[in-house]
Amino acid sequence: MQEGNHTAPQTAVSSDDLVAEQVSAEGEEFLVETDAPAGDASAAGEVAPYPEQDPPGQAAPVAMPALAGPAEGWQHLLEAPEHAYCRMDYGDIIQGLVMHVDTDEILVDIGSKAEGVVPARELRKASQAGELEDLQVGDSIYVFVLRAEDEDGRAVLSIDRARLEKSWRWLEQIYQEGEIIEAVVDGYNKGGLLVNLQGVRGFIPASQVSGIRASSRDERQDALVDMVGERIPLKVIEINRHRNRLILSERQASREYREARKEELLESLEVGKIYTGQVSSVCNFGVFVDLGGADGLVHLSELSWGHIEHPRDVVQTGQEIQVYVLSIDQDRRRIALSLRRTQPEPWSTVAERYQLGQLVEGTITQLANFGAFARIEEGIEGLIHISELSDDPVGHPRELVQEGDVVSLRIIRIDPVHKRIGLSLRRALREMGDEDLEEVDLDFDEGDSETF
């Protein structure tokens, strides 16, 4: 950039084709006055072209994440030469030295024939942000040229507009490079969310917020209010500094972030290991679990060792759970997970919890010609052979029990290796001694094992 010929770019940058029509109408609702309090939808008003009005937004600038740090490279800004006067024009940003500081003004040596002056009204926002607390004579600062020379021959400068100019240039760089930034939502209006990006007010249309799926206007407004104070990822999709227009998308930023994270996760996850994730959605066939940027599927059959009717009987959306990685399909970019394999297989410890002759409570789950099956705990079902239903002859189990009945049963056989437990309804009704137990076990092995 040549000295004395720095002017703000005059070309507006349009948004991506995918969202141009979507945000154009909603973006018109983002008309916020300079000193309007955050979160007040009534603060909307017509914005004059920059730089005739004061830059909008009074909230303290947010700290940018590591994904996209502040723009570097101010080499193109004018610097005060040591042995020649600096020719200045409106809009130039010059680096100078602080010569005098008081409550009314700051004098800055910018290499002109006289020191430049920063009046109090042009350092108000920098003062509110706490940037001038440690400012001392001899410090180097950047200033924006408002007037090349006043009636006293001094250049009139602005610290606030220099800060804002730097922020706009940083945001234009972010837009050109397609980077993702983060900011804290500090307000809302009827069309979407508001953020402050180093002094520049940005607008996020409700249609560009992935977490808002409300059907009515009132529900959408409530959802917007709930997001105030939340830190979210953002991507610049439209920027026009001369209209004070900055449109952002949380939806695009989240999608791109998740795609990048998914690639990383597919490389870092290991089959057979257990990871912590959050249930992102529940479907009839299973649940999706967010592992930190990528979702994996826990199929219905991998949710529990026992039988379940629907995944919501086991987990809920938003719940944090541990999952076991079953497989990773790099080509299809799919992750198969298991919830039940993070817990001991019930049959592996069944002999520690049950003994022959023990009285248990079971729920009838299925009827067959040869007997009835009963669940005594999740993942553990046993057979009540038809001969063990009653002392009297029984033509079919349905004559005595129905699916869903809860009955008291005696354990008459335990076979962890083949995952079998023999149960008796008729023996639960009377006391059994050691001799009875031995006879029951022997009879069951010889006569009924083929049907179990």
Instruction: Report pLDDT for 128.
Output: 63
Band of pLDDT at residue 214, cut at 50, 70 and 90: low
* Cβ-Cβ contacts under 8 Å for 254 (sequence gap 6 or more): 210, 233
pLDDT at 253: 92
Task: Inform me whether the pLDDT recorded for 307 exceeds 50.
Answer: yes
Question: What is the average per-residue pLDDT within 442-449?
Answer: 40
Alpha-helical runs (H) found in 196-290:
217-226, 250-268
Spatial contact of 170 and 64, defined as CB atoms under 8 Å apart: no
Q: Residue 46: pLDDT above 90?
A: no
**What is residue 398's predicted lDDT score, i.e. its pLDDT?**
92
Asked if the peptide bond before residue 346 counts as cis, ω within 30 degrees of 0, the response is: no
Of all residues in the chain, the percent with pLDDT exceeding 90 is: 35
Question: Is the overall model pTM greater than 0.85, yes or no?
Answer: no
Phi, psi of 225 (to 5 degrees): -60, -40
Q: Which amino acid, 88?
A: M
Mean pLDDT (whole number) for 112-122? 81
116-130, 350-364, 397-411: lowest mean pLDDT where? 116-130
pLDDT band of residue 67 (cuts 50, 70, 90) is very low
Give Cα 424 to chain centroid, integer Å: 53
Residue 325 in this model has a pLDDT that exceeds 90: yes
pLDDT for residue 91? 78
Interval 267-294: pLDDT, tens = 888 999 999 999 999 999 999 999 987 8
The better pLDDT of the pair 202, 12 is held by 202
* pLDDT exceeds 80 at position 75: no
Q: Which span out of 7-11, 70-74, 118-122, 165-169 was modeled with the highest average pLDDT?
A: 165-169
Q: Is the pLDDT of residue 369 over 90?
A: yes
Domains of the chain, first to last = 17-68+179-253 (2.40.50.140), 78-164 (2.40.50.140), 269-342 (2.40.50.140), 352-451 (2.40.50.140)
Question: Which of the two residues, 372 and 47, has the higher pLDDT score?
Answer: 372
Predicted pLDDT of residue 61:
40
Between strands 78-79 and 93-101, the pairing is parallel
With a cut of 50, say whether residue 263 has pLDDT above it. yes
Residue 51 pLDDT: 39
The end-to-end CA distance of the chain, in Å, is 88
> Which of 22-26, 253-257, 300-304, 341-345 has the weakest average pLDDT?
22-26
- Which of 107-111, 164-168, 386-390, 431-435 has maximum average pLDDT? 386-390
Nearest 5°: the CA angle 406, 408, 409 is 120
Tell me the per-residue pLDDT of 228-249, one tens digit each, with 9 for 90 and over: 999 999 999 999 988 889 999 9
